Structure formats: structure tokens, C-alpha cells
Amino acid sequence: MKVLLIDDHPLILSALQSVILGLGGDVTVTGAGSAGAARDILKADPDFDLVLLDLHLGDADGFEVLAEFRNQYPALPVVVVSASDRMSDVIRAIDLGAMGFVPKRSSNETLFEALRMVMSGGIYVPTMAMGSGRPEPVPGGDTVPSVLRVVRERAEDSGFQTAPKPLASLGLTPRQTDVLALLLKGMPNKLIARELKLSVETVKDHVAAVLRTLGVNSRTQAVLAVSQMSNQGGLSAWSQSSR
């Protein structure tokens, strides 16, 4: 597996390289200390399996680099590894196409879990506190607590203050579960329809029903809500248990 690591802090770049090499003997890591260097590396050799991207680069805005890479290399998964763990940053990164978001304060084991999840086709987001607090503004005028309120309320209704209610208990039909699994992989309605041999209109109806059930109004919010319900900060556990 070929990994491109982008971070402008030499010590962190070196430390992350060592950690990622611990994934296995078949892993190679190329480091880039700037967005410009990363662009040159990908232009010369776009055959990478994974990109790890810091959001705070000296020569570019990390979010803009994320959007650029997702546009130019749509098949190349990008995982954000950032000193930030703000929910607004997580939401924005996933909305721009990141396949994962790992705070730098995470353990090596968490990083390994996240990378394995992404390489197996899942999406990883960090477990986020769902307790009370002042809503944090996010792009689009929404607030994180309102996005995840349905998760917290259902957990509290079932008698648990910290453990979200399992997604399987929300009453999705098998077909809605199939649609959600593909939706969380970033597939548009047309591709979901093709994959499930349904009409696009039928897929739209299923997507609308899924979002209503989750209490959200966008795919990004669905990713976050499902990740909280999985109780592991990611989607792989649910996607495997729902099949």
C-alpha cells in the first residue's frame, strides 16, 4: 500500500511516517511538507492508495487542498489527520469528500483502525461528545447538536445517557438499509439505482425516508449520525452487522 502523508511540521511528519509503516511490511510512505510538494508528487506518480492530509499547511488551506484532490483524483481516498477535533471541521471535511477524520491526539491503534476502515471502503469519523453545551456553528447555518439531537434523544429515551441507540433498532427496511450503506460510500442516486436495480425515483424516496428516520437533512449529517450510533466512531461495524 502506497501512502502519501502531507504535513508541514517535520517532527509530526516523521512520527506519522513511522506509525503508518507499522501497518505492515507492504506499506510505503512518501512524505510531503507542503501542498505544493504533494501536488508535484501526485502529478509525477498518481498511483497512491491513500492520502493523509493535515488541514493546517503553510502554503495552502487544507480544506481547499482536500477539495482539489477529491476533484482531480476522485478514486484516491483522503483521510484528514488534524490537530483540530472541532465537529464543524469534521463535518466540513466529510462534506468535501474526506473518507476519514482522525484527530492527532488519537492513539496509534485508533489511527490504524481508521486507515483499515477507509481502505475497506468505510468512512471513519471520531466519536464526538453528545452531551449538552453551546451549539457550534457550522457551514450552512446548521448546528452540530441539532444534527445529532435525534441520536441523543433516542439514547436517553432508551435509558442510556451515553450509549447511542443501535441503528438496527430504528426500523429501517432491508432496502432502506441497502440504500443507506451505498449512500454512506458517497454514491449518487443514479449509481445506487444501478447497483440495486431500482429506478432513480425509487432511490430518491428511500433516501428521503432514511434521512427522516435519522433526523437529518443531508448525507454528511447521515454519516455523522450513523457513526455515533455505531458506538465506535466509524461505519464498518454497523455495515457488517446489518447485512
pTM: predicted TM-score of the whole model, two decimal places = 0.66
155 vs 34: which has the higher pLDDT? 34
pLDDT of residue 8: 92
Confidence class of residue 230 from pLDDT cuts 50, 70 and 90?
low
Structural domains of the chain, with CATH:
2-119 (3.40.50.2300), 144-241 (1.10.10.10)
Contact 5, 11 (CB under 8 A): no
Give the residue-averaged pLDDT of 56-75.
Answer: 92
- Lowest mean pLDDT, pick from 36-40, 159-163, 172-176, 201-205: 159-163
Output the average pLDDT for the chain.
Answer: 77
SS (H, E, C) the chain: CEEEEECCCHHHHHHHHHHHHCCCCCCEEEEECCHHHHHHHHHHCCCCCEEEECCECCCCEHHHHHHHHHHHCCCCCEEEEECCCCHHHHHHHHHCCCCEEEECCCCHHHHHHHHHHHHCCCCECCCCCCCCCCCCECCCCCEHHHHHHHHHHHHHHCCCCCCCCCHHHHCCCHHHHHHHHHHCCCCCHHHHHHHHCCCHHHHHHHHHHHHHHHCCCCHHHHHHHHHHHHCCCECHHHHHHCC
Residue 129 has pLDDT above 80, yes or no: no
pLDDT digits (tens, 9 = 90+) for 175-216: 998 898 888 776 778 889 999 999 999 999 999 998 888 888
What would the grid cell of residue 207 be? 433516501
pLDDT of residue 87: 83
